[in-house]
Structure 1
Amino acid sequence: MRVVVAPDSFKGSLSAAQVCAAVAEGVRRAVPGARVTAVPMADGGEGTLDCFRTARAGELVETAATDPLGRPVAARYALSGDGRSAVVELAAASGLPLVADVPPDPLRADTTGTGELIADAVRRGAREVLVAVGGSASTDGGTGLLRALGVRFLDAAGAELPPGGAALARLARIDGSRLPHAVRATRFRVACDVTSPLVGPAGAAAVFGPQKGASPAQVRELDAALTVFADVLAAHSGVRVHDLPGAGAAGGTCGGLVGLLGAEPSPGAPLVAEAVGLPAALDGADLVLTGEGRVDGQSAAGKVVSAVAALAAERGVPCVALAGGVAGPLDELHALGLTAAFSIADGPRDLAGLKAGAAPLLAALAEQAVRLFAR
């Protein structure tokens, strides 16, 4: 019997790798000779680097970068064992927590540090880069990131603009002539779990600007500047990102990556699944066990369980979710391909008790679930 174990972490309790270990123990209790393939998963947020590194025999690379206000910071990204693929979390060098020690500066903050991480990965040979956006401190349309890769953003006099989203109000021309061939040859994907467009009342500045310290007046200033950016970008590349769903993610970083680097945005879990090799791992499987801390109706909206279930369904493989808690209705998950979902709770327990005993409870539940399919 071949079983693939592909869960998210149980937040506040077990990492995805620890969940895999506990579930694998239960599988082998039920079927001692079972072949278990562990593929720790994530949804593009916390834990993505570790999942990628584990699945692709990779390493965490630490390098010097700059924080959203241009101060030095050490940040890490994940590089696959063969050096051809990388995962970069925007929050590692451009996240809001990095500037929590100073008053917010939403007009000037930018994403240069994330670009520096990507540049380092490309220099090392990566030709596929997954950028996990989220937790950004800036509203710069990703221009800091792009500038670090070689793109120039110029005003009407041909002078380079200073960092930050507000300066984009003076943008007249984009010069991509210094973008290295290696960057042009790289496939970029963006793990993006929001549908906000770049500009407008539901755009990057309006929805996320206040979280980064922007006043109502600054929100209007940033939205107007991003509109100029989108206009110039459309003239430069022929790609319109003004109202593209997801373009507003991470202060418009997704929009900038799509417009200038041809990046492919997608919900995080499916992108992580591809990056860690889950589709190939599922070929020939008899059963897939997935899970997360809580499975409910929201799990169908791009979470790990829904992504794994959909991939399993494509191959006709039953897929069972093991979770800390399960709450219906689960109709959408079943429609996606989830066979069933079960909670690790073996009786009345409080949340603290479930977290403390999650590993043995998962092993016991996995054993019982596998017995239903063993032959």
Structure 2
Amino acid sequence: MKIVIAPDSFKGSVTAIEAALSIKRGIKNAFPNAEMKLIPVADGGEGTMENLVSSTNGHKVAVTVTGPLGKPIEAFFGVLGDNETCIIEMASASGLDLISRSERNPLTATTFGTGELIKRALDEGYRNFVLAIGGSATNDGGVGMLQALGMKILDKSGNEVGFGGGALHQIHEIRLDQFDKRIHESHFLIASDVDNPLIGEKGASHVFGPQKGATDEMVQVLDENLTHWGNVVEQVTGIRLHERPGAGAAGGIGGAFQAFFPSTMKRGVDVVIHYSKLEENLKGADLLITGEGQVDFQTAYGKTPMGVAQTASKLGIPTVIIAGSIGERIESLYQYGIIGVFSIINRPISLDEAMRETKKLLEQTAEQVCRTYFFNKEGVIVNED
């Protein structure tokens, strides 16, 4: 019996690695001799670096950078097991979780620290990059990142514009002569599930600004400022970001990569599946177990459980999803090789209690799922000790 365990994190309670270990314990309760492969996964947001470093036997490098509010913080970049690929998680340097809810302000939050992480990795000799850009606190169009890498972004007086999306309207000139030349010796694979354009009702400011602390008035200012930034970029590069899919990812940093970096954007979960060698590890498996905190009809639109289920389905391997909660219209998932969706909630319980007990509840649910699935299958004996 071979079972592959490939969950995402249960946000706010357990990481993907912790979830995988909890599921493993539950399976061992029923089948002590089962072969299990643990492949924690993510969708390009928080946890992506940790998961890829773990699954490839890589390592992390600590770097002091400028945080989203302009204060020094400790961030990390990861080096995968090939010792050639560097993974940078934007959330580590410029993430929303780095600041309190009361401090959220995309008018001032900066991506400068993300640029510092890239610069440090370039200094270490890395030229092959994976950028996971989910979970940002910023809406500055990637301007801070570009400044950290030497690009001069100046106002009418010839001074560097300040941090944050609120300063973009001041941009008068872009100078590329001091932009780090090593950028164009490198390749950047951008992991993102977001295909929003830079501006407009579906753009970075309107869709993601409110969760980063923007009021309705701030959203309008941010959108106008990104429009101005897009205009300047188009004048300099000939690349129009305004309506371009993915340019609005992570407060517009997706557009900065498209305009100034040799880069490719891919669905975050597909990037993780590739580097974790999920398909290779699935060969010969009887079952795939995945999961995340909330599962509903939106899961079909490229979220982590869907990505791994599609990979398993190509090999004829069924998938079970274990979720913290189950929302509406999950029947849409069954056409993708998913045979069942199970909630870990087994009694009346508060959200706080459920989040505190997630590891135990995952273990219990995984055991019951596997006892049921493998019951009476030829050659399978359920442990009765």
TM-score by length of 1: 0.84
Cα deviations by residue, 1:221-249 (Å, 9 ceiling, x for unpaired): 43233222212323433432211233223
- What amino acid is aligned across from residue 188 of structure 1 in structure 2? F
Task: Tell me which residue corresponds to 1:190.
Answer: 190
The farther-off stretch of 282-291 and 33-42 is 282-291
Query: How far apart in 2 are the matches of 1:319 and 1:100?
Result: 37
- What amino acid is aligned across from residue 184 of structure 2 in structure 1? R
| Structure-2 change in CA distance of 1:325 and 1:103 (3 Å) | closer
Query: How far apart in 2 are the matches of 1:285 and 1:154?
Result: 56
Task: Tell me which residue corresponds to 2:229.
Answer: 229
Task: Tell me which residue corresponds to 1:276.
Answer: 276
Task: Tell me which residue corresponds to 1:367.
Answer: 370
Task: Tell me which residue corresponds to 1:35.
Answer: 35
- What amino acid is aligned across from residue 364 of structure 1 in structure 2? E
Query: How far apart in 1 are the matches of 2:336 and 2:177?
Result: 44
Cα drift, residue 216 of structure 1: 5.2
- What amino acid is aligned across from residue 358 of structure 2 in structure 1? K
Query: How far apart in 2 are the matches of 1:276 and 1:236?
Result: 38
Task: Tell me which residue corresponds to 2:4.
Answer: 4
| Structure 2, gaps ≥5 residues long | 380-385
Task: Tell me which residue corresponds to 1:91.
Answer: 91
TM-score by length of 2: 0.82
- What amino acid is aligned across from residue 67 of structure 1 in structure 2? G
| Structure-2 change in CA distance of 1:215 and 1:18 (3 Å) | closer
The farther-off stretch of 235-244 and 251-260 is 235-244
Determine if contact 1:41/1:51 at 8 Å carries over to the other structure: yes
Cα drift, residue 105 of structure 1: 5.9
- What amino acid is aligned across from residue 362 of structure 1 in structure 2? T
| Structure-2 change in CA distance of 1:295 and 1:226 (3 Å) | closer
Determine if contact 2:184/2:262 at 8 Å carries over to the other structure: no
Task: Tell me which residue corresponds to 2:200.
Answer: 200
Cα deviations by residue, 1:237-272 (Å, 9 ceiling, x for unpaired): 343221123322322111112221143334433333
Task: Tell me which residue corresponds to 2:141.
Answer: 141
The farther-off stretch of 322-331 and 293-302 is 322-331
Within-5 A mapping of 1:94-243: 94-96=94-96, 98=98, 100=100, 106-155=106-155, 160-214=160-214, 218-243=218-243
- What amino acid is aligned across from residue 279 of structure 1 in structure 2? E
Cα deviations by residue, 1:10-69 (Å, 9 ceiling, x for unpaired): 345443223323333454566555432110112333332321221121223221111234
Task: Tell me which residue corresponds to 2:298.
Answer: 298
- What amino acid is aligned across from residue 136 of structure 2 in structure 1? S
Give the alignment's Cα RMSD to 1 decimal. 3.2
- Quick check: 1:244 aligned with 2:244? yes
Determine if contact 1:14/1:358 at 8 Å carries over to the other structure: no
SS of the residue aligned with 1:357?
Answer: helix
Query: How far apart in 1 are the matches of 2:103 and 2:370?
Result: 52
Query: How far apart in 1 are the matches of 2:186 and 2:222?
Result: 30
SS of the residue aligned with 1:36?
Answer: strand
SS of the residue aligned with 2:8?
Answer: coil
- Quick check: 1:357 aligned with 2:360? yes
| Structure-2 change in CA distance of 1:283 and 1:143 (3 Å) | farther
| Structure-2 change in CA distance of 1:97 and 1:342 (3 Å) | closer
Within-5 A mapping of 1:56-71: 56-71=56-71
